[in-house]
Amino acid sequence: MERDYTDSDYMQVLASDWKKIVCNENGNIILDKVARELRDYSLLMQCTSFVYDNICNVSHPFTDSDHILKAIDESIERRVEKLFEEKNQIKLERVTNPEWDYAKVYRELHSTLQKLIALLNYLAQKDSATMASIAAASVKLVVISTEVVKTHKNLESIAIDNCAN
């Protein structure tokens, strides 16, 4: 549930959100419970900053949500474009390099695609405004994933041919 927080509503927030968590049955604040909640809050702020910075190069946890969502959309687009560029840079002479561990390359690509698809699905559930760009990125990822599987099969075939020769 979204709320419009103001500087003057902190006592209402305490009563509605925190009283049952940090107060005893008489309504007295229990310092140990407050300290634990503040520790959790600090961890949440640290993790939020880390995630924001990792996804969209914004590290302040109180950044406006519209800015974060726009930055996430841009980050997704950049990452999808980067995946397409990396896929298109693979040349046959590099693909047939006998020093490559093709199974490892496939696992890495497949794992990365799964994580990115999971991230896109998670973001799609959080905000309907970003669903169109997320859906487009998901479609691109499915295409990439299909290409990764085809490439893996081709690499297996090349490896079998190389072993036969």
Per the structure block, which two tokens stand in for 132? 């169109």
Q: Which amino acid is at 4?
A: D
Task: For residues 28-47, give the mean pLDDT.
Answer: 92
How far is CA 156 from each of CA 64, 103, 135, rounded to the nearest angstrom? 48, 8, 31
Q: How far apart are CA 27 and CA 33, in angstroms?
A: 13
Q: Which long-range contacts (CB under 8 A, 24 or more apart) does 17-24 make?
A: none
The pLDDT-based confidence of 85 (bands split at 50, 70, 90) is confident
Q: Higher pLDDT residue, 142 or 27?
A: 27
Predicted structure pTM score: 0.42
Q: How far apart are CA 19 and CA 165, in angstroms?
A: 75
pLDDT for 47 beyond 70: yes
Residue 1 is predicted with a pLDDT of 44
Average pLDDT over all residues of the chain: 75
Per the structure block, which two tokens stand in for 99? 């020093």
The string of pLDDT tens digits covering residues 12-36 is 888 888 999 999 999 999 999 999 9
